[in-house]
Chain A
Amino acid sequence: MEAKTKTINHKLKRLLVLIKKNWVIALLALPFLLAFTAFFIYPLFYGAYISLFKWNLFDSQASVFVGFENYRKVLFGVGEITLWSTYFWNALKNTLIFVVFSVFFLITIPLFIAILLDLEPRFYKVFRVIFFLPTILSVSAVAIIFKWQFDTNNGFINAFIELFGFDRISWLNSQPGAWVAILVTTIWWTIGTNTVIFSAGLKEVDKQMYEAAELEGCNYPQVLWHFSLPSIRPQMFLALINTTIASFGIYGQAEILTSGGPDRSTTVMMMVIRGLLTGANAQPGLATAMAILFGLIIMAVGSVQALYNKRKGAN
């Protein structure tokens, strides 16, 4: 009996010592863990909860439980009401169109620029600063500048092509002009990040290997293809995943440049979700269901990319 209390006492003492030694460590992480739990983990569950209601943002007591009705409305439409599912699938299609093109250009153009920068020509540091500069600007300022560049009557681009005898194009109100405008804006705005990531990767490649390969009779493109590209695979993968996720989230450029037009052809998912959130016809519960489905799609695409990368890495 006495021995038992002794061991318990002993264990308690050890626990006390442990707490005494480590409470500072726990305390230091506490503010972050609180914020992380409150504004990241908890909302995941809260969002799932909201999506099961005809939710009222300003009076949550007035919310009505509807089960999976919101998800049905978004995915298939319910009875006569097919409006939301039409919006959802249309927006998903538009977003995917954007993602495919923007990811393609946001990988290839930065790769091209990074390869040039890696040769370290004169002023390459200045060039790098210039290419990275637009990424620090806000989407509203960028979109205002490009809305004007693409303006039918007062825009630089139409004035420029008129010099060569072409007719003015109504860029923002016709297709494919609207997508071109949104893509050009996005490319101008965001190539900097991937350019810097690729540059960092290329810098690590052993340059002596290049020379050896060239002595063996490889030409420069072959050297790039066989040595440089394979050695920056980790950076390529990182850039691919980052760019894909960021592209899915497109909102500001499309909102300001085209407002989703013409004929809802550039209405992307974030615009639909945002539009359902506030205003006279707000449907926050439905919007949350849409956001969750959209989030799952993004995660699925990201996982496929990760799996593919892993498999290729194993070969």
Chain B
Amino acid sequence: MAIRASKKRRKIVSFWILLFLSFIWIFPLLWAVGTSLKSTQEITNNVLAIIPKRITFDNYVNLFANYQTYPIFAWLRNSFLVASIHSLLYVLIISMAAYTFGVARWKGRNVVFGIIIATMMIPGVINTIPVFSMVIEFGWLNVDITSFLALIIPGLGGVFGLFIVRQFFLGIPYEIIESAKIEGLGHAGIFFRIVLPLGKSALMVAGLFAFMATWNDYLWPSIIASVIQNPQYYTLQTGLATMQSNTNYEYGQTMAAAIVSIIPVLIVYLFVQDKIIEGVSHTGFK
């Protein structure tokens, strides 16, 4: 009896603490949205308010009107192109490799995969400059548009997504594969007709992670941008950063730009948050 009562009390206490904490966690976003809807005056003399006295869309209008200095639609387009092409290619490549390392049975597959996994211990910072040197030598940064290749291609060698998808493929019962073999399916048939349909959710998680990582990447695109120096070909993150580093930048416009950059990701998140959270708790990574 006493235990059940204390359990109930704990639930209530935990509810109130979590409510308080989640308010703190959501607050900066609400304040940012509110501030982007304030007039320049209110930004300085009505700092505390989340909801402005007078809601104005001036910051957004000015931001979009200023598209020649800050081509935010071009940035959105570039980020979207780069992130979606990269994640599609990556999912294609790793789903095939995950078949080799997770479904097909061959001598030494665990050893080879173990070596690949071990390289995850090597920090990426070691590779940044040589890869930068390589994309310059390939000539990818000679023309603005091909600089997207430098944002799309090098990440395809990443091990992390392969790790997630292989882990999932390992869970497919081998009897299913065996019986498919008996029915005369080859590797290609098994891959397309059995493994891919079964592994859809794992591929989606891996694809989402790849998309968000590319969409949100900052250091690498900023290095590439420092060579091409044409704002029309920046990604959203590089664009935002250049906007706020400008000495006479507009507070309200920059905040509006940050909000605009958040909205697409936020929409995707709200739709698939259960998948993402499940993916993280299964793999332990992001």
Contacts and interface: CB of A to CB of B under 8 A. Distances in A.
A277 B129 contact: yes
B273 A127 contact: no
B167 interface: no
Nearest to B226: A278
Interface string A233-265: 001001100100100110110011000000000
A170 interface: no
A36 B157 contact: yes
A31 B255 contact: no
B12 interface: yes
Contacts of A238: 284
A230 to B, nearest CB: 18
Contact of B280 (A32, A119, A196, A255): A196
Contacts of A28: 96-97, 99-100, 187, 191
Using C-beta atoms within 8 Å of the partner chain, give the interface range for chain A. Answer: 35 or more
A130 interface: yes
Contact of B133 (A37, A60, A121, A242): A60
> Would you call the interface of chain A mostly helix, strand, loop, or mixed?
helix
Interface string A23-53: 0111011011101111111111011001000
Contacts of A134: 25, 29
Interface string B251-285: 10011001001100110010001001100111011
A64 interface: no
A87 interface: no
Interface stretch (B43-51, B54-62, B63-71): B43-51
Interface string B112-148: 0000100101111111111111101100000000000
Given A127-B22, A154-B251, A200 B281 contact: yes
Nearest to B243: A144
Contact of A144 (B29, B254, B277): B254
Given A25-B187, A155-B47, A295-B122, A144 B93 contact: no
A138 B155 CA distance: 18
A203 to B, nearest CB: 8
Interface-central residue, A117, A153, A277, by most chain B CB under 10 Å: A277
Given A39-B156, A140-B238, A294-B125, 7 more contacts: A25-B187, A32-B162, A128-B277, A141-B258, A196-B277, A277-B223, A278-B223
Interface of A: 22, 24-26, 28-29, 31-33, 35-44, 46-47, 50, 55, 57-58, 60, 113, 116-117, 119-124, 126-141, 143-149, 153-156, 159-160, 163, 188, 193, 196-197, 199-200, 211, 214-215, 220, 235, 238-239, 242, 245, 248-249, 251-252, 255-256, 270, 273-274, 277-279, 284, 287-288, 291-292, 294-295, 298-299, 302
Interface of B: 3, 6, 10-12, 14-15, 17-19, 21-22, 25-26, 28-29, 31-32, 35, 43-44, 47-48, 92-94, 96-97, 99-101, 104, 106, 116, 119, 121-134, 136-137, 153-159, 162, 186-188, 191, 212, 215-219, 222-223, 226-227, 236-238, 240-241, 244-245, 251, 254-255, 258, 261-262, 265-266, 269, 273, 276-277, 280-282, 284-286
